[in-house]
Copies of this chain bind each other. A is one copy, B any other.
Amino acid sequence: MTLNESFFSIQQVAPLWHSTLGIERETLRVQPDGTISSYPHRKDWGTRNHQPYIQTDFAESQVEIITPPEYTADHLMSWLKAAHQIVSEDIVEEQDLLWPFSMPACIPTDTTKIKIAQLTNQKEYAYREGLARLYGKHVQLISGIHYNFQLNPDVIEANYQQHGGQESFIDYHNETYMHLVRNYFRYRWFLTYFLGASPYVAENYSTNFYGKPHQIPMRSIRQSRYGYQNKETVVMDYTDLYSFVQTIEAALQRGDLHLEKELYRDVRLRGASPTRDLLKKGISYLEFRNIDINPYLPYGIDKETINFIRHFLISILFLEDDRQDNQVVEGHQMNYRIAEAHPLDACPFKEEALHIIQVMDRVNQELSLPYWPSKREYLIQALDQPELTLAGQIVTETPDSTDYLEMGLTLAQQHQQTMLEQPFLLHGFEDFELSTQDVLKEAIRRGIRVDIIDKQDNFLQLSYKDQQELVRNANMTRLDSLITYFSMENKVATKFILSQNNIRVPKGQNFNTFEAANAYYSLIQNTGLVIKPKNTNYGIGISIFVDKPNEKEYQESILLALAEDDTVIIEEYVKGTELRFYLQNHEVLGIVERQPAQVIGDGTSSIQQLIEKENQNPLRGVKHMAPMTTLELGSVEILQLKHQGLTVDSVPEAGQIVHLRENSNVSTGGISIDRTHDVHPSYIHLAQNAARALDAHFCGVDMIIEDYSVPADNHNYAIIEANYNPNITIHRHPGEGEPRLLGKAVLEELFPEAFS
C-alpha cells in the first residue's frame, strides 16, 4: 500500500482527527397514521430567523435539527439528543411523530397539503416556492443527514509554512479542500454501500421517477438518480476551485440554476456567498450531504457512525488524486451503481473497498480508535454479505414494500419513547447540574445560542442576536452583584443585613469564647435553641434543642461547636414548617414546602415494601441526578423508625405518614411540595423585603413559619437563610403540586427579545 502524502503526512493524523464536525438531521413530522402532519412548526421554538438548533427545511412539517461545531462525536450526540428530546416533548401534544427514514412513506395526492415552511424571511420563502415549481414538492420531502467537516486549520497552516512556496495561503488552503472534495466524490460509494438506508418510498412517489426504469427496493433511492437531482445540463468542474466557480456561474447564466444554492451535489463548499468569494476568503468547511438517515437510531445517526465517517474522510486524504474532474465523474457513476443496486447485492468494488480499509487501518495505527477492530471485521464481512449492510438489514426485516409504513411508524414510536424518558433531564447534558439542564433546555428550545464555557462549573454563554449573557449554575448572572453573593454566602452577614432591615431572624448571638457563650445561659428565656459553629459543613458541630437545654447540655454543645470554628452561634430554635421562596427580580415565582423522606401507609404494605414502591416514582433517582433521591434504608433511617417504635417490617395504617429522616434535604430523600398559591401573602411580602434588603436579584429565602395560612406577625416566622443560587429543580419538578418554569423565567428576563 502506498500513501499519497502530497497533502498531508501520516504523522498529522492525530491533529487531523481533532478537526471540527457538525451534524444536521432532517425529519418529517407525521401523524400516527403516517400522513404528513399539518400542524405548524411550534411557536415555542421561537423565530426561525434566529433558531440555531431547530429549523425547517423545505416543508413546514420537515424539522431540521442542527448541532453546533464540535470536536467529538460525543458532543455532537449530546446536541442531537437534546434537540430531539425537546422536539418530541413539544409535538407529543399534537400526536406528531418523527419519521425515521430518509424517504417518505406517505405523500398526499393533493400536493397543496404539502405546506412550504412558513418563514418570515421572504427570500427564503420565495426560494422554496421556486423549488416546488421546478422540481415538484414530492422530492423536497426527502430527508437526510448533512455532515459538516472543517479540517483542523492549524494543520493546513503548518503545511503551508513548510510547502507553500509561491502560492498564496488561500490558494493553498482551497486546493487542500478541493483534494478532499474530489476524493470524496470519487470514493463516497464506500459509505453508500454500508450506510445507504432508503430502499423504499411512498407508492405515489413513483409518479416522480422521471419515467426512468427502476426497481424497488434499492440500496438508496435518495442517492440514486431518482433522488433529488438538478437538470442534466448542470455540469460542474471540480478540477480546481476556479473551474468550479466558472461552471456554477455559467449554469446560472444559462438559467439552469436560479440560485447557487439550488445546486444539489453531495458536497457543498461552505464559507462564502456567492461562491466566487471563496477564492478570496477560502473554503471554511465542507458539507457532505449524502448520508441517509439510519432508521434504527432515534437520532438518525450515532457516535460510531460519526467516527466512522470522520475516519473515512481522513483516510481518503491519503488516497491518490489525479487532480482532474474525470475522477469525480467516475465517482458519480460508481455511487449510482451502489445506490441503485438491490440491497442484497454484494459489493461490486470489493478490491477498492479493501484498499480503503487498508488506508483506514494505517490511519488507525496513529489513533488506536477503540471502535475500529470490530467495525473493521464487520465491514469486511459485509462486503460479501450485503444483508449485513444497513439497507440489507431493512429489506431482510421488511421484505415487502407494503410494510414500509408500518415499519417506520413502529420505529418512530420506539424512538419517541426514548426521547420522552426522564423529562427532568436534558438528554445528552445529564452531566450538568439539574437546574442548568433546565436553563439549557429552554435556551435550545427557544433558539438562544449556547456556548459551554466550562461544563464542570456549569458555566454557559448564551447569545441571541447581538446580546450575550454569561450564566453560571442556572441563575448566577450579571444581574446580581458580587457583594450580594457574599452577603448570602456568609450567614453572619445575612443575619446582620436582615436584622438591620427589621426582618425577623432567629434571635441569637455569636461568641468567641466558651466563657462568653456560657455567660449567656442565664439570659435565655424558656425557648428551644440551635447551637452551631459559624461555618460548618454537613451539620457537624450543630446541636438542636426543641426546648431549652439544661446547663450541662448547653455547655457541651458550645464546646462541640467551638471544636469546629472560633465562633459559636447561639440562636433560638424556631418551630414550624420550612418553606423555600424562589425569587427573581424581587418577585416570588415559586414556593415549596420541604419535608423529610417519608412513606405513606396503605394498610397492607410493610415500610420496606412502601419504600420499594415509592422508589419506582420516575422522579426519584441517584442523588443530584434526579429531582428526588432514591429512598434508602440505612442506619439513620432505621434509627429514626426505632424512635417511632417502628421497624422496616411494620405495616403503617392507610394514610399514615412515616418519616424516615429528621432533615428535609432532597439529597437524603426529602420531598418538595409546591405551595406557591397556598401561602398567606404576608410571607411573600416578607420574602420580597428580604431579597430587597440583600439587594438580591435571584435568591432563595428559607423561612420557618408556624402556620402559613395565618398572616405574619412579629413572632410566628423567621428567615433562617438566603441562597444566592437557589435550586430550580425542586420547583420545576416538585414531588407534589404544579411545576414552575423557572429556567424559562431566567431566560425571559435575560433575553426579552427572544420571547417577544
Contacts and interface: CB of A to CB of B under 8 A. Distances in A.
Interface of A: 11-12, 14-15, 17-18, 152, 154-155, 158, 367-368, 451, 453-454, 456-457, 459, 461, 470-472, 476-487, 490, 492-493, 496-497, 515-516, 518-523, 525, 534, 566-567, 695, 724
B515 A486 contact: no
A523 B481 contact: no
Which of the listed residues A17, A457, A477, A521 has the most CB atoms from chain B within 10 Å of its own CB? A457
A208 B534 CA distance: 58
Given A15-B519, A519-B18, A454 B493 contact: yes
A487 B515 CA distance: 44
Given A459-B490, A478-B695, A482-B482, A496 B453 contact: yes
A461 B368 CA distance: 60
20 contacts: A14-B518, A14-B519, A15-B522, A17-B519, A154-B523, A451-B496, A453-B493, A457-B493, A459-B486, A470-B487, A471-B483, A472-B482, A472-B483, A472-B486, A476-B482, A476-B486, A477-B481, A477-B482, A481-B481, A485-B485
Given A158-B523, A493-B453, A496-B461, A478 B481 contact: yes
Complex A-B, nearest 6 residue pairs according to Cβ-Cβ distance, in ascending order: A14-B519, A478-B481, A480-B482, A470-B483, A15-B523, A478-B483
Contacts of A520: 14-15, 18
A504 to B, nearest CB: 17
Contacts of A470: 483, 486-487, 493, 497
Given A476-B483, A477-B483, A485-B485, A490 B523 contact: no
A536 to B, nearest CB: 13
B15 A482 contact: no
Given A15-B520, A453-B493, A478-B483, 20 more contacts: A11-B522, A15-B522, A17-B519, A18-B519, A453-B490, A453-B496, A454-B490, A456-B566, A456-B567, A461-B496, A470-B483, A472-B483, A476-B483, A477-B483, A478-B481, A478-B482, A478-B484, A482-B482, A482-B484, A482-B724
A518 B663 CA distance: 48
A382 to B, nearest CB: 28
Contacts of A522: 11-12, 14-15
A483 B750 CA distance: 13
Contacts of A368: 515
A470 B481 CA distance: 11
B482 A481 contact: yes
A279 to B, nearest CB: 26
A348 to B, nearest CB: 36
A465 to B, nearest CB: 16
Given A476-B482, A515-B368, A492 B12 contact: no
Nearest to A513: B72
Which of the listed residues A478, A481, A487, A695 has the most CB atoms from chain B within 10 Å of its own CB? A481
Contacts of A487: 470
A519 B314 CA distance: 15
B454 A492 contact: yes
Contacts of A724: 482
A457 B470 CA distance: 27
Contacts of A483: 470-472, 476-478, 480
Contacts of A155: 523
Contacts of A521: 14
Nearest to A475: B482
Which of the listed residues A456, A483, A496 has the most CB atoms from chain B within 10 Å of its own CB? A483
A487 to B, nearest CB: 6
Nearest to A565: B456
Contacts of A534: 456
Contacts of A518: 14
A706 B362 CA distance: 44
A572 to B, nearest CB: 13
A483 B11 CA distance: 42
A623 B482 CA distance: 27
A332 to B, nearest CB: 34
Contacts of A459: 486, 490, 493
Contacts of A476: 482-483, 486
A478 B483 CA distance: 5
Nearest to A479: B481
A496 B479 CA distance: 21
A160 to B, nearest CB: 13
A366 B637 CA distance: 44
Contacts of A456: 534, 566-567
Nearest to A154: B523
Contacts of A497: 470
Nearest to A694: B470
Nearest to A451: B496
A382 B297 CA distance: 98
